[in-house]
């Protein structure tokens, strides 16, 4: 989607920048990993195919993608912005996507990946999603109730992550062995029991769940690398 082609979103520990050709070599290296291919339900692509995919994602009106970069250190100052030169030096750690198979009136499927195990459990995904979801609600705009995520039933880290952000498990699609989670819906108790999932949810009423109230003022910049 061209909506975000010049947008950067500044978090305290993570930056969201548009997916551009210069990101493809690293992205292509990541997607050689069988673990990531499986967890993101992706097919292996050649470098040329990956480049073509990046071009397509940029233009397709049904996809919105940001690359995630780690800030060198956590930024606690109210001024979150960075110069293009500083942004270029940040480490690429993952991506976050929205897919709109039925356009803006239909469901919006979210997906996130923090590629390296070394970069996980540092709060990058939760912060990136808080900013991303808030950006979608404000700028597409998309009603948060349209947001869903499809996750392999065994992918506990991802299920917990989306529960933290206020998504609930509403469906178990047995043929794909995946669960569907919808924003602002409670977990279906029968599915939790069937899948032997922990019925104790991560805290929902903490700051992670109230991403709808995040103020993006001062966190959005223009990106012209
Ligand atoms: C799922 C994934 C995106 C989580 O990223 P992350 O940066 O490690 O997540 P965060 O550090 O922001 O964690 C946020 C919350 O998610 C949950 N979580 C994340 N990893 C978890 C794990 N290994 N076990 C249990 N809960 C986990 C926790 O509730 C955590 O909050 P806490 O740290 O306060 O307990 C990451 O593991 C990943 O990219 N996996 C491979 C690709 C994938 O599965 N993508 C999802 C497809 S939709």
Distance from Cα 119 to the centre of ligand 1, integer Å: 10
> Same structural domain for residues 68 and 170?
no
Q: Is the pLDDT of residue 200 over 80?
A: no
For residue 224, what pLDDT is reported? 83
Asked, for residue 222, whether it belongs to a domain, the answer is: no
Tell me the pLDDT of the chain averaged across its residues: 94
Q: Which atom of ligand 1 is nearest to the CA of 41?
A: 47
Q: Which atom of ligand 1 is nearest to the CA of 115?
A: 39
What pLDDT digit, counting tens, does each position of 14-62 carry? Answer: 999 999 999 999 999 999 999 999 999 999 999 999 999 999 999 999 9
Q: Per-residue DSSP letters for the chain? A: -GGGTTEEEE-SSEEEEE--GGGHHHHHHHTT-HHHHHHTT-----HHHHHHHHHHHHH-TTEEEEEEEE-SS---SS-----HHHHHTSEEEEEEEEE-TTGGGS-EEEEEEE--GGGTTSSHHHHHHHHHHHHHHHHS---GGGEEEEEETT-HHHHHHHHHTTEEEEEEEGGGTEEEEEET-PPPHHHHHHTT--S-PPPSSSTTTTGGG---TTTEEE---
Total of domains in the chain = 2
Q: Which residue has the tokens 């992205």?
A: 27
Asked, for residue 14, whether it belongs to a domain, the answer is: yes
| Atom 15 (ligand 1) nearest CA | 161
Q: Which domain holds residue 181?
A: 143-214
Distance from Cα 224 to the centre of ligand 1, integer Å: 31
Distance from Cα 218 to the centre of ligand 1, integer Å: 27
Q: Are 151 and 184 in contact (CB under 8 A)?
A: no
> Same structural domain for residues 107 and 152?
no
What proportion of the chain, given as a percentage, has pLDDT over 90?
91
What confidence category does residue 81 fall into, taking pLDDT thresholds of 50, 70 and 90?
very high
CA–CA gap between residue 16 and residue 23 (Å, rounded): 13
Distance from Cα 60 to the centre of ligand 1, integer Å: 28
| Atom 18 (ligand 1) nearest CA | 157
Flag the least confident range among 9-23, 111-125, 179-193, 200-214: 200-214
Distance from Cα 114 to the centre of ligand 1, integer Å: 8
| Atom 48 (ligand 1) nearest CA | 111
CA–CA gap between residue 170 and residue 192 (Å, rounded): 10
- The mean pLDDT value for 180-206 works out to 86
Q: Which residues line ligand 1 (CB under 6 A)?
A: 39-40, 111-114, 120-126, 149, 151, 155-158, 160-161, 164, 202
> Same structural domain for residues 3 and 106?
yes
Higher pLDDT, 201 or 22: 22
For residue 26, what pLDDT is reported? 98
pTM of this prediction?
0.96
> Same structural domain for residues 94 and 21?
yes
What pLDDT digit, counting tens, does each position of 107-143 carry? Answer: 999 999 999 999 999 999 999 999 999 999 999 999 9
Asked, for residue 1, whether it belongs to a domain, the answer is: yes
| β-strands 147-152, 178-183 pairing | antiparallel
């Amino acid at each position: 989607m061209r909506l975000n082609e010049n947008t950067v979103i500044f978090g305290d520990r993570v930056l969201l920048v548009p997916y551009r050709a210069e990101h493809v070599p690293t992205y292509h290296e990541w997607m050689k990993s069988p673990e990531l291919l499986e967890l993101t339900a992706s097919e292996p692509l050649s470098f040329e195919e990956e480049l073509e995919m990046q071009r397509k994602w940029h233009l397709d009106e049904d996809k919105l993608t940001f690359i995630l970069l780690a800030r060198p250190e956590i930024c606690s100052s109210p001024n979150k912005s960075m110069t293009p030169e500083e942004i270029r030096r940040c480490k690429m750690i993952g991506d976050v996507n929205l897919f709109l198979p039925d356009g803006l009136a239909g469901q919006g499927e979210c997906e996130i990946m923090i590629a390296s195990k070394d970069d996980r459990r540092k709060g990058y995904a939760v912060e990136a999603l808080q900013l991303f979801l808030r950006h979608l609600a404000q700028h597409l705009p998309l009603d948060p109730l349209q947001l869903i995520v499809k996750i392999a039933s065994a992918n506990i880290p991802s299920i917990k992550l989306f529960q933290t952000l206020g998504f609930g498990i509403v469906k178990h699609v047995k043929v794909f062995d995946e669960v569907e989670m919808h924003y602002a819906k409670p977990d279906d108790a029968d599915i939790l029991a069937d899948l032997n999932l922990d019925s104790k949810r991560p805290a929902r009423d903490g700051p992670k769940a109230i991403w709808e109230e995040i103020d993006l003022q001062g966190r959005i910049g223009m990106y012209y690398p």
